[in-house]
Amino acid sequence: MDTTLQDPLVGQVLDGRYRVDERIAVGGMATVYRAVDTRLDRELALKVMHPALAVDVSFVERFIREAKSVARLAHPNVVGLFDQGADGAYVYLAMEYVAGCTLRDVLRERGALRPRAALDILEPVLAALGAAHRAGFVHRDIKPENVLIGDDGRVKVADFGLVRAVGSVTSTSGSVLGTVSYLAPEQIEDGGSDTRTDVYACGVVLYEMLTGVKPHSGDTPAQVLHRHLNEDVPAPSGAAPGLAVGLDELVAAATARNPEIRPHDAVELLARAREARAELADEQLDLLPPRALDGGDPAPGEETTGIVARALPREEPAGGGRTARLPLPLPPPAAPDAAPDAGPAPRRGIALPRRGVLAIVLAVLLVLGAGTGVWYINAGQFTRVPAVIGKTEGDARERLEGAGLDVREVRRQFSETVRRGEVIASDPATGERIRGNGSVRLIVSRGPEIIRIPSVKGDSHATAERRLKEAGLAPGAVSREFSETVPRGSVIRTEPEAGARRGPDSAVAVVVSKGAPIEVPEVIGDRVAEATEKLEGAGFEVEVAEGRVNAPQEAGSVARQSAAGGARLAGGDTVTLTVSKGPRMVAVPEVTGESEDDARSALESAGFEVRTEKSFPYLGDTVSGQSPKGGGRAPEGSTVTIRIKGL
């Protein structure tokens, strides 16, 4: 029985529209399915957030917000987003389904690529990222797994689920995002990222395409991270002799450890890549990868499973996008007088593989008959990995062996969504091409891992964050509260509280003490020195604002304070003082002879307070005099006295 059907969504129609046909992959945040839009009869990919995460309102809001960000990136080299919605506990994205393979598949089968093929892939990737960067977004997880090569030959960048606005906070709150081999030094040091971190990752991907290996290796992720921080990415020509200096320079510019000297964004790196291509001769662009140059066996797929022989004319979509066609790395033809089985014939010092003639025939047939796109030849040597996700380990082994494959390794990891003993993923993944007698690695679920939140009350904020990370949790939002008992800067509590049980990498909010509240003294009207002494004596920092303002207070005294007298602040908080330059002098209106009401209106409109003196008995309301007299000038806000004379 196919245990994939145990997935409750497979076979269901989500939101009355999307029929879920097959589970493709499971990640930490979501599961991806192949589905059909029943309204438009269109095949698509459905990314469904794990129900356990969908109960977190803030997480769902971020998921939706980022989906809207991706929807703005309408670019031919970006995997399209069609729809976003929710059906009960299922929050989903409906995305373009790309039939083909990933760049990781190509590198796994073939190793290093010729420079022409590497640039044909890099340039549309940079075009897609350039559109994102100029729209204000950063991808943050560029790697070969997220570069798709469709059956139609188009290169597309996938998984923009981690995008962030360039101007927004991009700290990962203690969890470094991305894959360690492609992280820029600044991402490792503080978790921050901007357009230049994407540029760095693209430089690493280019190095890997040119050499077939990653620039930094190690026995543990920590060793790889240490090398990214402390060692420059080496020149690719060191691993692939004969590569042009221009390619070394392109990789060096993109992977500079100092982000200030990298190209600012993908648009700038794309321009440099095109300049580097223009400076290379055909023989430099078509240089065979290292294994072929050494006379060894070609990389898997080098002849019989390669990609079409010649790059077709490229279209230039709006925004600088490029349709990539990957050239088939054709072996050099035999000399005209050589027998088919006479062995290698020399051409620029490169040996012709024994199966070269067959490869040429197949390539010519493809060019004549296929026309366009990325095409693969299956000469009976390759098969595709059967679906084993969701199956028990025993069932998965049985199905793989039935396909002529064996299991080279079983790794086990915790999972909140896949039941214990069932397969989370395979490497190569479901549907990927593999040699008929190849091996597959299985990742099997150990079930959920539960972590008890440690008590960090009384710890400093930094110590609390370190202890939460050591426990396998992620420090979350930080808020501050007054406390009469917990010293300033120490932790009052966590949310969820200590002792609660959570899964690994769950965010834990921390509430930090502002100390006991302190009442702010009233200092308006005081001289600045006197006001500063009062505030500092109460435990506050004092700043004096630049510039002075007209105010009723005497020049040189305090006109305003940022926290009013009597307000409660934390010790060490800053109170800003604004200094008076004295009141503004304004003209006094002449109101003698006017009625009391008219006189009052005129004086108040000019900015004065009005006081009335009346002589008894008074029967009229005509102003007989005023002080100060009309026509002179007096401080704005001062009092003008008007007199109403009696009989």
Amino acid at 322: R
H or E stretch including 293?
helix 290-293
Strands (E), 534-638: 541-549, 558-561, 568-570, 574-580, 585-587, 609-614, 623-627, 633-635
102 close to 110: Cβ distance less than 8 angstroms: no
Helices 103-110/195-211 angle, 10° precision: 30
> Are both 149 and 197 inside the same structural domain?
yes
Helices 115-134/195-211 angle, 10° precision: 170
What confidence score (pLDDT) does residue 307 get? 35
Residue 168 token pair: 């927004």
H or E stretch including 519?
strand 517-519
Domain boundary pick from 96, 112, 132: 96
What confidence score (pLDDT) does residue 619 get? 67
Q: Domain span at residue 462?
A: 451-513
> Are both 91 and 180 inside the same structural domain?
no
> Are both 66 and 128 inside the same structural domain?
no
What confidence score (pLDDT) does residue 592 get? 92
- In DSSP notation, 611-629 reads EEEEPSS----BEEEEESP
What confidence score (pLDDT) does residue 603 get? 94
Round to whole Å and give the CA distance between 222 and 219. 8
**Domains contained in the chain, number:** 6
Round to whole Å and give the CA distance between 330 and 364. 10
- Indicate the DSSP class of residue 386: P
> Are both 127 and 228 inside the same structural domain?
yes
Q: What is the dihedral of CA 140, 143, 148, 154, to 10 degrees?
A: 80
Strands (E), 97-225: 100-102, 137-138, 147-150, 155-157, 164-165
CATH code at position 603 = 3.30.10.20
Round to whole Å and give the CA distance between 248 and 77. 26
646 phi and psi, to 5 degrees?
Answer: -80, -170
> Are both 160 and 270 inside the same structural domain?
yes
Kindly report the length of the chain.
647
Round to whole Å and give the CA distance between 257 and 415. 35
In a domain, 321, yes or no: no
What confidence score (pLDDT) does residue 646 get? 64
In a domain, 342, yes or no: no
Find tokens 């025993």 and name the residue.
394
Q: Using 50 as the pLDDT threshold, list the residues of the chain that sit under it.
A: 1-5, 162-178, 292-380
271 close to 124: Cβ distance less than 8 angstroms: no
> Are both 134 and 7 inside the same structural domain?
no
In a domain, 118, yes or no: yes
215 close to 248: Cβ distance less than 8 angstroms: no
Residue 377 token pair: 């030849």
In a domain, 78, yes or no: yes
H or E stretch including 598?
helix 596-605
Find tokens 């006189």 and name the residue.
599
Domain boundary pick from 272, 297, 322: 297
* Model pLDDT for residues 267-323, shown as the tens digit of each residue: 999 999 999 999 999 999 999 887 644 443 333 333 323 332 222 223 333 333 333
In a domain, 175, yes or no: yes
What confidence score (pLDDT) does residue 370 get? 31
> Are both 463 and 477 inside the same structural domain?
yes
Residue 115 buriedness (CB in 10 A; 0-12 / 13-18 / 19+): buried
> Are both 106 and 240 inside the same structural domain?
yes
Catalytic sites, residue numbers: 141
In a domain, 440, yes or no: yes
Find tokens 């083909």 and name the residue.
100
What confidence score (pLDDT) does residue 604 get? 92
* Model pLDDT for residues 372-421, shown as the tens digit of each residue: 333 332 334 568 888 888 889 999 999 998 888 989 889 988 877 788 88
What confidence score (pLDDT) does residue 437 get? 79
> Are both 273 and 236 inside the same structural domain?
yes
In a domain, 419, yes or no: yes
Round to whole Å and give the CA distance between 311 and 322. 12
What confidence score (pLDDT) does residue 259 get? 93
Tell me if residue 491 falls in helix, strand or coil: strand
Burial 500-522 (b: 16+ CB within 10 A, else e): eebeeebbbebbbbbbbebebbe
Round to whole Å and give the CA distance between 217 and 220. 9
Cβ count near 567 (within 10 Å): 14
235 close to 177: Cβ distance less than 8 angstroms: no
> Are both 273 and 413 inside the same structural domain?
no
- The region that residue 310 occupies, defined by phi over 0 for left and psi between -120 and 50 for alpha, beta otherwise, is beta
Domain boundary pick from 513, 541, 564: 513
> Are both 28 and 81 inside the same structural domain?
yes
> Are both 16 and 139 inside the same structural domain?
no
CATH code at position 53 = 3.30.200.20
